[in-house]
């Protein structure tokens, strides 16, 4: 059978390829230490699990949920934005529940992208920023993130004709994979650019809960006019160790939220209310578990960063996320990753995040300190 052209045009999905390579090595009996996929290894906090267990006992949660999500969950999101950013949101119209952020990132294109509309996306970046427009018939246009520009896109470098045809722009800070952060002056620049060219801004803030050394993460919605031009998509996966629960949200411009909601009414039946109630517990209860997470990740960051530095591998010390973006001396990320894999150490080659990721590899801080020590010894031997 012939696949649809949109499927034939898709590149192989990065993490699926990684899984296959890891599985092959394990079959060969290799002990694998994986810094590959950004999947938290720390369990979901107990109070969140308890909330889900209690919610599962209530018969009203056994029926179909609403498409836009429980109002109580959306109110918890609004409460979170008030607490963390002093941003007021209308839960009824400016927040929608997602079945994980990946769902929202993909579906937003179906709501707003017509044939041949341009979508501006950061490169290197999360692969769905590029594949989402392809599914919708749009044209993805890469905004390179360069070391010399602190891994921020240069908006002035976007050609005028591309900017005028662009319908949507993806930004992502704290950034995956580079771990770069953005300040409010950058978000102001994005808002002004979007207003000039009538572009919808989608700010992926999935790592908004992981920051080190008392750094305070900024949100796109902190800019007063941000809601005129766009939305934030955020996930509970990384902040609360809930990657397998598939719960996230979008918040911001009412028209954009409404358009995303119209897609969702046709392609899914909403997020489980049981999981949304767990999400409420995560968002509004004490945030001690988040602080403990950060302490764990900071110890891992310091150990891995210092170890790589001693081995002569450059990477920017992250202020946020749980990634290290390490520069490869010979510039070939695939060969470097394959070399480490021979020693049972998995890293993600930068080329998998787009052409502008070549020359780097990504380490995810999802191994405990003992395994990080072991991995550094293996890397030292290989190099």
Domains in the chain: boundaries: 5-43+288-382, 46-284
Rounded distance between C-alpha atoms, residue 61 and residue 275, angstroms: 10
Reduced to 3 states (helix: H, G, I; strand: E, B; else coil), residue 151 is coil
Cα dihedral value 278, 279, 280, 281, nearest 10? 50
List of E strands, the chain? 33-34, 95-98, 118-123, 139-144, 166-172, 200-204, 230-235, 248-252, 323-327, 345-346, 348-349, 360-364
Are 106 and 113 in contact by the 8 Å Cβ rule? The answer is no
Query: Which are the contacts of 379, defined by CB distance < 8 A and separation ≥ 6?
Result: 307, 308, 311, 340, 343, 345
What dotted CATH number matches 5-43+288-382?
Answer: 3.90.1150.10
Is the Cβ–Cβ distance between 231 and 30 less than 8 Å? no
Q: How far is CA 212 from the centre of its chain?
A: 18
> Which pLDDT belongs to residue 7?
83
Instruction: Reply yes or no on domain 46-284 having CATH 3.40.640.10.
Output: yes
Name the token pair of 272: 């489980």
In our burial notation (b when 16+ CB lie closer than 10 A, e otherwise), range 103-135 reads bbbbbbbbbbbeeebbbbbbbbbbbbbbbbbbb
**What pLDDT sits at residue 13?**
66
Give me the average pLDDT of each 10-residue run along the chain (383 residues): 82 72 87 92 97 98 95 98 98 98 97 96 96 95 97 98 98 98 98 98 98 97 97 98 98 98 94 98 95 98 97 95 95 92 94 94 97 97 90
**pLDDT for the residue 84:** 97
């Amino acid at each position: 059978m012939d696949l649809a052209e949109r499927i034939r045009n898709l590149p192989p999905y990065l993490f699926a390829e990684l899984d296959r390579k890891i599985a092959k090595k394990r079959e060969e009996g290799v002990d694998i230490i994986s810094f590959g996929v950004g999947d938290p290894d720390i369990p979901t906090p107990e109070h969140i699990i308890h909330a889900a267990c209690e919610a599962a006992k209530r018969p009203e949660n056994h029926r179909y949920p609403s498409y836009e999500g429980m109002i109580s969950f959306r109110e918890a999101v609004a409460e979170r934005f008030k607490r963390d950013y002093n941003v007021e949101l209308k839960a009824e119209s400016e927040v929608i529940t997602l079945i994980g952020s990946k769902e929202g990132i993909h579906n937003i294109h179906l709501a707003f992208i017509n044939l041949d509309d341009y979508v501006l996306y950061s490169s290197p970046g999360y692969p769905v920023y590029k594949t989402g427009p392809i599914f919708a018939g749009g044209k993805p246009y890469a905004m390179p993130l360069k070391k010399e520009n602190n891994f921020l896109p240069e908006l002035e470098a976007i050609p005028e004709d591309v900017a005028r045809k662009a319908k949507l722009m993806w930004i992502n800070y704290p950034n995956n994979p580079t771990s770069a952060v953005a300040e409010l002056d950058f978000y102001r620049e994005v808002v002004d650019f979007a207003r000039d060219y009538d572009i919808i801004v989608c700010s992926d803030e999935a790592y908004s809960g992981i920051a080190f050394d008392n750094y305070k993460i900024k949100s796109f919605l902190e800019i007063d006019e941000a809601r005129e031009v766009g939305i934030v998509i955020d996930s509970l996966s990384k902040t609360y160790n809930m990657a397998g629960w598939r719960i996230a949200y979008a918040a911001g411009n009412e028209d954009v939220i409404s358009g995303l909601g119209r897609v969702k009414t046709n392609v899914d039946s909403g997020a489980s209310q049981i999981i949304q109630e767990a999400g409420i517990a995560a968002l509004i209860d004490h945030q001690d578990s988040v602080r403990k997470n950060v302490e764990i990740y900071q110890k891992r960051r310091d150990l891995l960063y210092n170890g790589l530095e001693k081995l002569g591998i450059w990477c920017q010390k992250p202020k946020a996320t749980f990634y290290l973006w390490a520069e490869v001396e010979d510039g070939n990320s695939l060969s470097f990753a394959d070399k480490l894999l021979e020693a049972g150490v998995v890293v993600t080659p930068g080329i998998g995040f787009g052409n502008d990721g070549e020359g780097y590899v990504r380490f995810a801080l999802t191994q405990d300190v003992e395994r990080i020590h072991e991995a550094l010894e293996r890397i030292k031997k290989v190099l």
